[in-house]
């Protein structure tokens, strides 16, 4: 990665020319040590607005004049993000909503537990004709409920964005930081990598989705294996049908049972290894995905209550692990 530069060395000031890559992560604090987990892209960024509040300066007068003054300090604030629109999984994450039920509906009620969230993003600047990309993090925020509106289409598409707001708070470290700003980078990719590192995201795991019903894998349509499969909130739910004789004559897909077909999207270009599979498994463990041209797989579920689906990505130095709970699957028996 190139060494970042500081814009103070330019003769002119700088003008903001863009906003991109809004990220979010869970905020954690333990004995004054702040950390971030489960970081991810929130949506596609349109704009951001910060409105900090501070206490008044504390002034002391002597000899009929102002003699001393203590600066006001940050007390609270609001950040408003405009994005293209949140996927349901992102909304569940920042709002603390439960996973979708077996009927695929997400309920807003008493079990909503709003977490503290770190927000990160990149601002693009221009100075003396030179672009720079500056990552910013608000370490501790909490989102409120979102306003929502939708408008019917006329003769042309009316691009309708989503505006979401969060309260900004001081973090629980010794300095009580409320904002962190990185140096300027020469490319957006470098600024994004710095943002990911600060948020604890070294390698981003791929998106996990069910394979489309009409796809044929191992000689069987996916629709014959499963229905209503959904991946959200660290859980995989839906129905696994019973396949008599299995999908292969030997190996992990042999024999009667239930099979889960998944695809893996948006492989991180920094990843040198992406392994996926069940733990515990029927002896195969996690299998390497990085050189698989189709980036999909079929996995035999033998015990939905004890098995977990795992995704482990590595760049050779850092590792990211995502675990999916399978206990919400409906597993059909023979003849069902």
**Domain co-membership, 50 together with 176:** yes
Single out the residue in 174, 198, 222 at which a domain terminates: 198
**Domain co-membership, 11 together with 138:** yes
pLDDT single digits (tens) 79-125: 999 999 888 888 899 999 888 888 888 889 998 899 999 999 999 99
Single out the residue in 198, 223, 240 at which a domain terminates: 198
Its pTM stands at: 0.61
**Domain co-membership, 218 together with 250:** yes
Q: Which structural domain, as residue segments, surrounds residue 240? A: 207-331
In a domain, 2, yes or no: no
Annotate the chain with three-state secondary structure: CCCCECHHHCCCCCEEEEEEEEEEEEEEEECCEEEEEEEEECCCEEEEEEEEEECCCEEEEECCEEEEEECCCEEEEEEEEEECCCCHHHHHHHHCCCCCCCCCCCCCCCCCCCCCEEEEEEEEEEECCEEEEEEEEEEEEEECCCCCCCCCCCCCCCCCCEEEEEEEECCCCCCCCCCEECCEECCHHHHHHHHHHHCCCCCCCCEEEECCCCCEECCEEHHHCEEEEEEECCEEEEEECEECCECECCCCCECCEEEEEEEEECCCCCCCEEEEEEECCCCCCCEECCCCCCCEEEEEECCCCCCEEEEEEECCCCEEEEEEECCCEEECCCCC
The arithmetic mean of pLDDT across residues 53-65, rounded, is: 77
In a domain, 288, yes or no: yes
Q: Please say if the pLDDT value at position 141 is more than 70.
A: yes
pLDDT single digits (tens) 206-226: 889 999 999 999 999 999 999
% of residues, the chain, pLDDT over 90:
51
Q: Please say if the pLDDT value at position 143 is more than 70.
A: yes
- Total number of domains constituting the chain: 2
In a domain, 315, yes or no: yes
The arithmetic mean of pLDDT across residues 6-14, rounded, is: 59
């Amino acid at each position: 990665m190139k060494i970042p530069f500081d814009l103070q060395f330019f003769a002119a000031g700088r003008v903001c020319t863009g906003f991109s890559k809004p990220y979010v992560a869970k905020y954690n604090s333990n004995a004054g040590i702040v950390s971030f987990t489960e970081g991810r892209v929130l949506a596609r960024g349109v704009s951001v607005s910060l409105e900090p509040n501070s206490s008044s300066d504390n002034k002391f007068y002597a000899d009929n004049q102002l003699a001393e003054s203590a600066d006001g300090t940050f007390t609270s604030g609001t950040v408003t993000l405009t994005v293209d629109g949140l996927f349901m999984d992102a909304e569940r994450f920042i709002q603390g909503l439960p996973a979708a039920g077996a009927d695929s509906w997400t309920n807003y009620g008493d079990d909503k537990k709003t977490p503290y969230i770190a927000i990160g993003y990149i601002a693009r600047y221009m100075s003396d004709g030179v672009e720079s990309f500056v990552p910013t993090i608000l370490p501790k925020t909490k989102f409120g409920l979102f306003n929502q509106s939708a408008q019917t289409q006329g003769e042309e598409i009316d691009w309708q964005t989503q505006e979401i707001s969060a309260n900004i708070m001081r973090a629980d470290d010794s300095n009580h930081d409320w904002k962190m700003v990185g140096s300027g980078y020469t490319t957006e990719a470098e600024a994004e990598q710095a943002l990911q590192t600060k948020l604890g995201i070294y390698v981003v795991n791929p998106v996990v989705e069910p394979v489309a019903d009409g796809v044929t894998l191992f000689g069987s349509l996916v629709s014959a294996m499963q229905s209503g499969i959904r991946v959200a909130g660290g859980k995989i739910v839906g129905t696994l049908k019973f396949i008599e004789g299995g999908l292969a004559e030997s190996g992990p897909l042999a024999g009667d049972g239930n099979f889960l077909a998944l695809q893996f999207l948006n492989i991180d270009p920094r990843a040198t290894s992406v392994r996926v599979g069940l733990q515990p498994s029927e002896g195969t463990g996690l299998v390497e995905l990085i050189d698989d041209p189709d980036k999909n797989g079929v996995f035999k579920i033998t015990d939905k209550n004890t098995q977990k689906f795992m995704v482990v990505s590595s760049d050779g130095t850092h590792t990211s692990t995502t675990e999916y709970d399978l206990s919400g699957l409906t597993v059909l028996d023979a003849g069902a």
